Amino acid sequence: MRIIQKLILPATALLSLSGQAWSEDLSIRQELLESGKLSALYSVDDHTTLIKTGTIEDMNSVLVSACSAAKGALATEADSFSCEGVFNAAAVDSPGSEGSSFLLKTTEAQPLAYMNQYIPSLEEVAAPPGGKIKGDYASIDVYQYMYALCKKENGTPSVIVSKRFGKVARYTEVSAEEAFSHLLAGEGKDPWFFGCEGENRFIVEKDYQFNPDGASSFYFHPKRGLEWVDYVKAGSDNVASLKAR
């Protein structure tokens, strides 16, 4: 049982980022929320959204409606959907998940929005006290919490995960989509880091532990960055050389 059980209902006001504003007809995320058939929605980055419904029939209905609102036609193939010029969606159900989950990629950048019963609403998102974050969170919920906090404060997020190259494991910076997919696949024992650079910089660390019967521990470090973490930066030649060994 999670400790925080605060239901976040779909909001009509979405967060505008980097000085941009979206009208409702450009917001696929708003169309999805207003369908009333989602059990969860995660903003992974400006163009990537994870949505969950109870059944594949609900998912089909939600995507048909969103595509139609954008004046498109939905095409279906196996476990994927395509709304030409608007979005593509593919099934990404994680092990043991209930319902149907799809990762949706939009052509247009989307405003930050989410539907998540375990974290504060956009209006209430604020930095937690330094130290261990109280609550029984899953990694994807901590990611959404900190991503929302970072974007709300006009920061730049970065995610570091443990990647294995043969017998060697290295902390490696990855894209938001790869990071979220990594966290969605399961908690595991390896730590990961979420950093936010900006006026209110911070870092979140998943503790190095794995207890199948217990919760993971996450720690919030305000006014700190990733400079103290030894990791391979995205696009670094060090990754290529490490793979070659």
For residue 241, is pLDDT > 60? no
For residue 182, is pLDDT > 50? yes
Question: What local confidence, expressed as pLDDT, does residue 185 receive?
Answer: 84
Task: Give the residue with greater pLDDT, 34 vs 17.
Answer: 34
pTM of the model as a whole: 0.84
Question: What local confidence, expressed as pLDDT, does residue 95 receive?
Answer: 56
Q: What confidence tens digit (pLDDT) does each residue in 213-225 have? A: 567 889 999 999 9
The residue-averaged pLDDT of 186-203 equals 89
Task: Give the residue with greater pLDDT, 3 vs 187.
Answer: 187
Q: What confidence tens digit (pLDDT) does each residue in 73-129 have? A: 899 988 899 999 999 999 987 655 667 899 999 999 999 999 999 999 999 999 999
Between 110-114, 196-200, 209-213, the lowest mean confidence (pLDDT) is in 209-213
Which of the four pLDDT bands, split at 50, 70 and 90, describes residue 10? Answer: very low
Q: What confidence tens digit (pLDDT) does each residue in 117-167 have? A: 999 999 999 999 999 999 888 999 999 999 999 999 999 999 999 887 777
Q: What confidence tens digit (pLDDT) does each residue in 40-51 have? A: 999 999 999 999
Q: What confidence tens digit (pLDDT) does each residue in 52-74 have? A: 999 989 999 999 999 999 998 89
Give whole-number Cα distances, 133 to 1, 42, 174, in Å.
16, 20, 24
